[in-house]
Chain A
Amino acid sequence: MREPLFHVVKRELIDWWKAWLIRLAAVLLALVLSAIVTVIMTGLNPFQVFATIFDGALGTARRTWAFLQGTAILLCISLAVTPAFKMKFWNIGAEGQVLAGAMATATCMIFLGSKVPTLILFIIMVVSAVLAGAVWGLIPAIFKAKWGTNETLFTLMMNYVIMQIISYFVYQWSVPKGSGQIGIINSESHAGWMPALFGQNYLLNILIVVLITAAVYVYLRYSKQGYEISVVGESENTARYIGINVKKVIVRTMVISGALCGLAGFLLVSGTDHTVTRDTAGGQGFTAIMVSWLAKFDPLMMVIAAALIIFLQKGAGEISTQFSLNKSFADILTGIIIFFIIGSEFFINYRLIFRSRHKESKEVAA
């Protein structure tokens, strides 16, 4: 009998700190590999690589603010997808839900720009962004609850439907006509632009995300609805046993998930971009899924994960600029980091057992 060298067994739960130690080791390994890749590409020595990355992310006050703002947006979307994921509803439509919110915000800015008082304008913007995101999340949820329609594929398709809708309106409303761009909205009046706080354009934006982080943390951990989400995600049977209406929870949670995505869309348009295109979300809807998953759906860990990803992206962007390489260098590094963390989960959940020990008992028996 030829026996495999080792076989795999499921682990008992390991201590949380061991798990995080394994993840930390994975991140470090990934950074080493990233450095090696960078060295090969650029010929820098490894320390210079990290110095450049650091400089690119936090080198100046402006860069630091941009880094914080980027982290805030990614974090906001990551938080948004988390309730759905905790429920094991694979919402990969965050990109589309963000875009729905962004579109709604831009629409309000264009048409109500200087016609209503600022406060009312902001209220309308936020409400419509939240509603648009929620509707975009609600549609797949309804079909999931009713017929069990595969939510992964459904939400994925929804992304591109909204992208085309945005493209449609971008052409319709393009400034100047026919240019295919909306351009900066209200560039003179700044109506609907997130106001600067203490002279910092991004500060209010960041503070809002801090509030959202706290809110999602509290919602998931301390609210009855958050508790129901956990139960449904862990075991639908238990949910039935204690009388939770599973379908209702699915729909409600997706509305919340979509609404938060919509809010992120609002932040993007009102806070940073002041315009909308089909690329406004820029793939962050997908990155956020990975961030949420890497953080094990824990909002606080998500802050770290989002910051790590943005840090790398900004840093790698700096490397690309300095060496006139393509910006996508950052994506490669992000990919490497994520692969390592995904891989580390295996060692948290499983154990390898080498086979030699079993031989004796077999010989006795035979």
Chain B
Amino acid sequence: MAVPAIELRNITKVFLGKVVANKNVNLTVNYGEILSILGENGSGKTTLMNMIAGIYYPDEGQIFINGEEALIVSPKDAFKYRIGMIHQHFKLVDVFTATENIILGLKDEERYDTKKAAVQVKAIADQYGFELDPDKKIYEMSVSEKQTVEIIKVLYRGADILILDEPTAVLTPQETEKLFAVLRRMREDGKAIIIITHKLHEVLELSDRVSVLRKGEYIGTVETKDATEASLTEMMVGKKVELNIERPDPKDPEERLIVAHLSVKNREGLTVLKDVSFTAMSGEILGIAGIAGSGQRELLETIAGLQPIEYGGVQYITPESGKIEYLRDKTPMEIRELGVRLSFVPEDRLGMGLVGNMDITDNMMLRSYRRGRTMFLERKAPQSLAERIIEQLQVTPSGTSTPVRRLSGGNVQKVLVGREIAAAPTVLMAAYPVRGLDINSSYMIYDLLNAQKKNGVAVIFVGEDLDVLTALCDRIMVIGQGSITGIVDGRTASKEEIGLLMTKGGHVS
């Protein structure tokens, strides 16, 4: 076999001295080959690729390009080795044309000539079968066109090794098909292509070999022709880890929140939720599993009244009286005025749930500051609430006047969850409430959620760790590309089953 395009040997990367993002990763890519890097969220795929692209520098291990050891400390170095990476977040200037973005930053010896460059861009596009108008402005483009610009930008700079980070996450099935056709043509052209993904069917359809990462560790590489969805899922999710999380049986569950045929578009006009229907019951924890960005955030924000609904509705059934409130087209304030006690722990804790520069007491007031008849704030109750939360949840440092920005991640989350629970909710939605938390803080959050469940609250828990979801939740709803791909029993479902459901959905199944 010829010299591999890239060979990674024992690559290890540790962040901030403790979070291990990659541990002893070995893999190779050849020219004329498509390699998939498969793994769940947080398995270290992007970090690994960023080291090849010069964004990060590995702590240990070696990178060989074309058989020779390479030192890549900046994107410029990567470019020198003819490596180009297409990131998930596009780096484009909106008011420039495609061509202008493609030639941005190049220091050609030649005269600056956008017309000539446009011809070259067109030529590259035609060679690989892209559809692109070189003179179109970025802000007039669809996401897929923007991606095309990013890919051509890399090709224009002469890259032979292409890395694509979750390229299909933002594409429609038709666009995905087109992209795959282009990638296959590049493979025939002798380029080495690495594609980061977590979609099994894409892996099987497109790639020649698959390398799997799990929690930063390299699990192995298999030939795609020998792999099945089931075998890959097992490699991806691993064996079940027994967690010691309490799971009491739901007591007298009754319907609390009914979501029916919900469809939502985001600001760019793309459908992010499609015909979502489910019911959240009181006294149970409903888990939501799915690849990040499958519509979990939009679902919770829509229920909370932060996103406009395209179609469908949300009903709330008041405990005891049984009165039905319709939440569609209501602002968060109006929802609260209806007497709906809906608490929401958003994913973006300091950017949405809390104000980083305010102290704990003032953050307690976010939900309740309107109370009281005067135009002045009532700080006594929030102050004692802050003290209570600090004491009960062991928040450190323990001063109520500490700005929350100075707290560690776990303590920030305790403050946020504590506040949302203190509002005595009947529905509690929590998005990734244990992300980034240490074990002790995580268990404290599970206990809090369970306590709410026992109080008869309908808890909606969006999580990413399947071990946790299957240990904590009564039912698990799986969301894939904006639609529900299945609702399983948390006590009996296997991780493989959920993992398979996660990769389906949307336009595919």
Contact = CB atoms under 8 A, between A and B. Distances in A.
Contact of A240 (B306, B334, B375): B306
B377 A223 contact: yes
A235 B352 contact: yes
A13 B352 contact: no
20 contacts: A13-B403, A13-B405, A223-B376, A224-B376, A231-B355, A231-B366, A234-B355, A235-B355, A237-B352, A238-B355, A238-B366, A241-B332, A241-B353, A243-B332, A243-B334, A243-B336, A365-B57, A365-B58, A365-B61, A366-B71
Contacts of A224: 369-370, 375-377
B140 interface: no
7 closest A-B pairs (Cβ-Cβ)? A243-B333, A243-B332, A234-B355, A237-B352, A241-B352, A242-B366, A222-B376
Nearest to B331: A243
Contacts of A235: 351-352, 355-356
Interface in B350-387: 351-358, 362, 365-367, 369-370, 375-377, 379
Interface residues of B, number: 39
Nearest to A237: B352
A240 B61 CA distance: 46
A361 B377 CA distance: 53
Contact of B369 (A227, A238, A361, A365): A227
B375 A223 contact: yes
Contact of B362 (A1, A227, A241): A227
A12 interface: yes
B351 A237 contact: yes
Contact of A365 (B60, B306, B366): B60
B206 interface: no
B329 to A, nearest CB: 14
A225 interface: yes
Interface in B332-354: 332-334, 336, 344, 346, 348, 351-354
A237 B348 contact: yes
B377 A227 contact: yes
A362 interface: yes
B59 interface: yes
A365 B355 contact: no
B182 interface: no
A238 B369 CA distance: 14
Nearest to B368: A242
Interface in B32-59: 57-59
Contacts of B304: 241
A1 B362 CA distance: 48
B406 interface: yes
Contacts of B60: 365
B73 interface: yes
Given A12-B406, A365-B60, A234 B376 contact: no
A363 B458 CA distance: 55
A230 interface: yes
- Residue of B60, B61, B355 with most partner-chain A CB within 10 A: B355
A1 B57 CA distance: 14
A366 B370 CA distance: 59
A342 to B, nearest CB: 20
Nearest to A361: B59
Contacts of A245: 331, 333
Contacts of A1: 73
A224 B336 CA distance: 18
Contacts of A225: 375
- Residue of B61, B336, B354, B366 with most partner-chain A CB within 10 A: B366
A9 B375 CA distance: 41
A343 B305 CA distance: 43
Interface in A350-366: 361-362, 365-366
A362 B377 contact: no
Given A231-B366, A365-B57, 15 more contacts: A1-B73, A223-B376, A224-B370, A227-B369, A230-B358, A237-B352, A238-B352, A238-B354, A241-B344, A241-B352, A242-B332, A243-B305, A361-B59, A362-B57, A366-B71
Contacts of A227: 362, 365, 369, 377
Interface residues of A, number: 25
Nearest to B12: A365
Interface in A241-259: 241-243, 245
A234 B358 contact: yes
A279 B353 CA distance: 47
A13 to B, nearest CB: 5
Contacts of B331: 243, 245
A245 B333 CA distance: 9
Contacts of B333: 243, 245
Nearest to A244: B333
B25 to A, nearest CB: 15
A207 to B, nearest CB: 23
Contacts of A242: 332, 366-367
Contacts of B354: 238
A69 to B, nearest CB: 31
Interface in B441-478: none
A294 B503 CA distance: 54
Contacts of B344: 241
Contacts of B348: 237
A297 to B, nearest CB: 12
A235 to B, nearest CB: 6
Contacts of B73: 1, 362
A241 B429 CA distance: 13
- Residue of A234, A235, A237, A242 with most partner-chain B CB within 10 A: A242
A12 B408 CA distance: 12
Given A241-B332, A366-B71, A234 B357 contact: yes
A237 B348 CA distance: 10
Contacts of B71: 366
A249 B405 CA distance: 24
Nearest to A362: B57
A131 to B, nearest CB: 21
Nearest to A13: B406
Contacts of B58: 365
Nearest to B330: A243
Contacts of A237: 348, 351-352
Nearest to A225: B375
B425 to A, nearest CB: 14
B2 to A, nearest CB: 26
A1 B74 CA distance: 10
A126 B112 CA distance: 62
A353 to B, nearest CB: 15
A235 B351 CA distance: 7
Nearest to B337: A243
Contacts of B353: 238, 241
B79 to A, nearest CB: 15
A167 to B, nearest CB: 39
B406 A222 contact: no
Interface in B408-461: none
Contacts of B57: 362, 365
Nearest to B365: A227
Nearest to B301: A241
A287 to B, nearest CB: 26
Interface string A161-204: 00000000000000000000000000000000000000000000
A362 to B, nearest CB: 7
A242 B367 CA distance: 6
A79 to B, nearest CB: 18
A243 B365 CA distance: 13
A187 B376 CA distance: 43
A230 B376 contact: no
